[in-house]
Amino acid sequence: MNLLLDSINELFAPATAAFALAAIGLNFHFGLTGLLNMGHAGFMLLGMYGYAISTSRGAPIWLALVIAIVVAALFGLLLGWPTLKLRGDYLAIATISAAELVRYLGRSNTLQSLTGGSTGIRGNDFKFTFEELSPLPDENITFLFWTRHGSLSSSWWLVIVAWVAVALFALLYWQLARSPWGRVLKGIREDEDAVRALGKNVYSYKMQALVLGGVIGALGGVLWALGGSVQPDSMGRPTTFWIWTLLLLGGAATVLGPIVGSMIFWMSLVLIKGLASAFIPSSVLSPVEIEPFSLVLVGITLMCLVIFRPQGILGNKRELAFND
């Protein structure tokens, strides 16, 4: 029973919302435009740094958000400028290395005064502006079966704000995907040269999609950081691949795919972890091994999904499937 409540708790946890938001950004890249961004965690980390560093230097919350957005937008422009004229694979190579570059720079000793090196930035240094805005009481609140603090860290306040943000950006995706603008992006996903031959400036559209998706990724990063701290190593390659997995799990090129994918991903992680620790004796699998084991199981589940339902849970196989 506790396990069930824990997994349901995971459905609406701030981390789930943060990943859902990042996946909405990736959906602009991959689902709509067909861009292979393999460095989404880099956008998220830049957003986190932009927000946390400016707040800890005394910036008000709106300015910190603007800085996070601008930093991610510049990163997108910088990455897209040389690579978007080339074939898709080059963007994948450039983004995966650029994201690692951001992480290594962040954890390097030279930038320690700014980024806090490999330990990152403590939550208390940058979360206060957001927490001060909370209208909720400054204490633990129990809603139905779940207890969270009203306004600190992974709070009800953050739950509300995070899901409102996810809803707004899902609406944005919905509106843009059915507009003529989104139609050009879908055309580019199918065949750039055909779209060029119809008189559209493909490079400019790809750049717009890359920057927009990257900025949304950065905001997802900010949500993630508001629930904990800025940790460069939490935004490595695995994070990028998780976001890809949950996007494909939910269904790329759909409005709700990233959200459903994120919910199922996080819930199954907790569920598998809980079941494994309840039913597998510690002589077979020690508690420290359960975490990697559950990730392995999630991986296997996802492989099965990709084999048997390549369009994801909500996807339209005729529009965008994983293996065609």
Partner 1 sequence: MTDAFASVPHEPGAPKPDPIVTAKNVHRHFGGLTAVDVEHFEVQRHQITALIGPNGAGKSTFFNLLTGFDKPQTGEWMFNGHSLVGTSPAKIARAGKVRTFQLTKALNRMTVLENMRLGAAQQSGENFFRALVPGTWKKQESEITDKAEVLLKRFKLWEKRDDYAGSLSGGQRKLLEMARALMSDPEMIMLDEPMAGVNPALTESLLDHIVELKDEGKTILFVEHDMHMVRRISDWVVVMAEGKIIAEGPPQTVMSNPAVQDAYLGAHHDTDLSEDAS
Cβ pair 215, 25 in contact under 8 A: yes
As measured in angstroms, the least distance from the Cβ of 259 to partner 1 is: 21
CB of 317 to partner 1, least distance (A): 10
In the window 236-275, what residues touch partner 1 (CB under 8 A)?
none
Cβ proximity to partner 1, 44 vs 177, nearer residue? 177
- Give the nearer residue to partner 1 in terms of CB position, either 198 or 300: 198
- Residue of 100, 125, 233, 319 interacting with partner 1 (CB under 8 A): 319
Question: What values do phi and psi take at 319, rounded to 5?
Answer: -90, -55
Q: Which of residues 68-97 bind partner 1 (CB under 8 A)?
A: none
Nearest to 228 by CA among 66, 19, 15: 15
Helix (H, G, I), strand (E, B) or coil at 230: strand
Binding span for partner 1 by CB under 8 A among 5-13, 176-184, 257-265, 276-284: 176-184
What are the tokens at 316? 């339209």
Q: Could you tell me the two tokens for 307? A: 């084999």
CB of 202 to partner 1, least distance (A): 7
Output the smallest distance, CB 43 to partner 1, in A: 19
Distance CA 313, CA 77 (A): 33
Residue with smaller CB distance to partner 1, 159 or 170: 170
Pair of tokens at residue 12: 């609406």
Cβ count within 10 A of residue 234 = 19
How far is it, in rounded angstroms, from Cα 189 to Cα 252? 12
Q: How far is the CB of 117 from partner 1 (least distance, A)?
A: 38
Kindly state the number of chain residues that form the binding site for partner 1, as judged by CB under 8 A. 29
| DSSP string for residues in 257-286 | HHHHHHHHHHHHHHHHHHHHHHHS-TTTS-
Which positions ≥6 away from 181 have C-beta within 8 Å?
A: 205
- Which helix (H) or strand (E) segment is 287 a member of? helix 287-308
> How far is residue 8's CA from residue 279's CA, in Å, rounded to a whole number?
20
CB of 201 to partner 1, least distance (A): 5
Q: Nearer to partner 1 by C-beta: 5 or 198? A: 198
Site residues (CB under 8 A) for partner 1, limited to 182-221: 182-184, 186-187, 189-191, 193-202, 208, 212
d(CA 223, CA 195): 36
Return the range that interacts with partner 1 (CB under 8 A); candidates 94-102, 120-128, 179-187, 272-280.
179-187
Give the nearer residue to partner 1 in terms of CB position, either 108 or 175: 175
Query: How far, in Å, CA of 157 to CA of 135, rounded?
Result: 8
Q: Between residues 122 and 186, which has the closer beta carbon with respect to partner 1?
A: 186
Interface region with partner 1, contact rule CB under 8 A, candidates 9-17, 149-157, 175-183, 223-231: 175-183
Query: Element (H or E) spanning 147, and its range?
Result: strand 146-149
Among candidate residues 107, 105, 98, 103, the one with its CA nearest the CA of residue 74:
98
| Stretch in the footprint of partner 1 (CB under 8 A) among 96-104, 180-188, 231-239, 273-281 | 180-188
Structure tokens at 4: 């069930």
Q: Closest CB to partner 1 among 7 and 311?
A: 311
Q: Does 175 bind partner 1 (CB under 8 A)?
A: yes
Among 15, 114, 176, 313, binds partner 1 (CB under 8 A): 176
Interface residues with partner 1 (CB under 8 A) are 172, 175-176, 179-184, 186-187, 189-191, 193-202, 208, 212, 318-320
